Amino acid sequence: MNPSRMTQGEIDRLVKDYIGISSGYLNHFTYKVHETFYQRYCDLEIDVLSYRRQGMTTQNAFVEILRTADSQDQARIIRGLFDMIPPPEQSEDKADKKKIAVHAELMRTVSRLERAMSSEVSIPTQPRSEYGFYSSRNLSKSLSLDELYVKLQHLYLLFRDRDFFKERAGITRTAFRTPIPVLRIPISPSSST
C-alpha cells in the first residue's frame, strides 16, 4: 500500500458506502453539481466535461478524478465531499451507523494523505560541501563551510549577552545611573496692563 495515495478499497468505500449509488447513478451528484463540486467545495480546477466527452458516467468520472489526483487533491476532495454531504448525527439506523464509521475511517485516510503530502518535501541532492553560503546580501562573496561556521560563532557571541544592540544604540547600564536632567521653566503670572 502506498501511504501517499488512496487505495482502491478506500475509493470504493467513499463512493459506494458514503456517497451511495442508486440505479447506477452517484447519489447527490447531478451533472451540474459534479461540474461545480471541485471548484466550490475543494478549491480545485477540474474539467469535468472532458471526462464526460470520453463517455464516462458521473460515477466513473468521479472515481477517475479521485484515483488520478495527487495526495493533496485526494484529501481536498474527501474534505470537500464531507462539506457537501456531512455525516449523519448519531443514529440507531444501521445505514447511518455505517456512514458514520466510513466517515471516521476516511478522516484517518485524509490525515494519512496530508502527512504524506507534508513529507513530500524536496531534499537537495548536492553534497553539503557544494552548498553556496554568502557573507552578505549586498556583497556576495562565497564562503566555505568553515568560514560560515566562524561567522556564526562570532554572531552567537555578540548576541549571547543580549547587549549588542543596546551598546550600538548607546544604551548602557551607566546611562541609567545618572539622573535625567529636567528642564524647569518658571511660570509667572502674566501682568495685565
The predicted structure's pLDDT at residue 86: 92
> Exposed, middle or buried, 114 (CB in 10 Å: 0-12/13-18/19+)?
middle
- Mean confidence (pLDDT) of the chain: 78
Residue type, 58: T
Any idea of the CA torsion for 148, 153, 155, 161, to the nearest 10 degrees? 170
pLDDT of 59 over the 50 cut: yes
CA distance 9 to 105: 12
pLDDT confidence band for 122 (50 / 70 / 90):
very low
Which residues make Cβ contacts (< 8 Å) with residue 138, sequence separation at least 6? none
What are the pLDDT digits (tens) for 10-27?
A: 999 999 999 999 887 899
Q: What is the pLDDT of residue 158?
A: 61
What pTM did the predictor assign? 0.60
- pLDDT for position 116: 79
pLDDT for residue 173: 54
54-58, 133-137, 183-187, range with greatest mean pLDDT: 54-58
Beta strands in the chain (DSSP E): 21-22, 25-26, 133-134, 142-143
What per-residue confidence (pLDDT) applies to 23? Answer: 82
What is the reported pLDDT for 96? 87
**pLDDT score recorded for residue 165:** 55
Q: Which of 8-12, 71-75, 113-117, 159-163 has the lowest mean pLDDT?
A: 159-163
All structural domains of the chain with their residue ranges: 8-119, 128-173
Cα 74 versus chain centre, distance: 15
Q: What is the mean pLDDT of the segment spanning 36-61?
A: 93
